[in-house]
Amino acid sequence: MSDEPTDEPAREQTHRGMIPVRRAVCPGSFDPVTNGHLDIIGRAANLYDELVVAVFVNRSKSGLFTVDERIAMLEEVTADLPNVRVDSFRGLTVDYCKAHDIHVIIKGLRAVSDFDYELQMAQMNRGLAGVDTLFMPTNPEYSFLASSLVKDIAGWGGDVANLVPPTVLKRLIERTRGA
């Protein structure tokens, strides 16, 4: 490899060699993405070379937004994060991980109430496929925030402007008020 300086970030140059790309996935429903999700995505993107935000296609639950709409919103709000890409998946998260050479699942923890279920899933995923889960505490500013609450509040005409990115707010208003 040439020692000539280039415009490319140093981190990319190191990965041309023997050091594997550190890749993680942030799975979820993202119906729709909230400021709480975005906080976790941004912080996780700082820890890994590549972060995949993966929308789970749930056969038994249709959302307010289609999977394509959720992906579009995620792409819009992560456009400034160059090492983040958005995808969707069906089936087990660990199967998605195996298929994409991902060894870490990122989960945000809002409160102790999240912990029981998340721990159970993390241990199951570790047992199923050896995939580890990294828990990140959410910013306390967003500890009460959930997509389901945002949809409920928006549906009743409440103000969610501080809870979701502007592009999501616009779509929420259009969808819930039929504008």
Enumerate the active-site residues. Answer: 37, 61, 110, 147
SS3 48: coil
How far, in Å, CA of 61 to CA of 71, rounded?
A: 17
Q: What is the dihedral of CA 75, 69, 94, 37, to 10 degrees?
A: 60
- Taking CB under 6 A as the criterion, the residue among 35, 83, 125, 133 binding ligand PNS is 125
Smallest separation, CB 82 to ligand PNS (Å): 24
Residue 29 lies near ligand PNS (rule: CB under 6 A):
yes
Query: Distance between CA atoms of 104 and 46, rounded to whole angstroms?
Result: 14
d(CA 101, CA 177): 42
Is there binding between residue 81 and ligand PNS (CB under 6 A)? no
Residue 122 C-beta: closest distance to ligand PNS, Å: 8
Residue 162 CB, nearest distance to ligand PNS (Å)? 20
Q: List contacts with ligand PNS (CB under 6 A).
A: 27-29, 56, 92-93, 121, 124-125
